Amino acid sequence: MSIHKAQGPEYPAVVIPLAMQHYMLLERNLLYTGVTRGKQLVVIIAQPKALALAVKNQRSQRRVTNLKTRLSTNG
């Protein structure tokens, strides 16, 4: 199961593979989600470069949604 599908429940064990072939998915928030889903065991199998990139990459935090403006004008 992918991290995207596991964003709610916890699981007894989680294995997280990180490879540079999937560099577009290497983001800190996805790594955090994967790690926090493991209830008893979390195993990260990673290329060192891929793990470093995932930890450093906060791209998803830079979203421009104008949510604050939309809430203040519609509220």
The DSSP code sequence of 2-69 is: -TGGGSS--EEEEEEEE-GGGGGG--HHHHHHHHHHEEEEEEEEE-HHHHHHHHH--GGGG----HHH
Of 54, 43, 61, the C-alpha closest to 19 is: 54
Q: What angle do CA 40, 43, 48 make, to 5 degrees?
A: 150
pLDDT digit string (tens) for 48-63?
A: 999 999 999 887 665 5
pLDDT digit string (tens) for 19-30?
A: 999 888 899 988
Domains of the chain: 4-74 (3.40.50.300)
pTM metric for this prediction: 0.70
pLDDT category, 47, cuts 50, 70, 90? Answer: very high
Residue 14 has phi, psi (to 5 degrees) of -135, 135
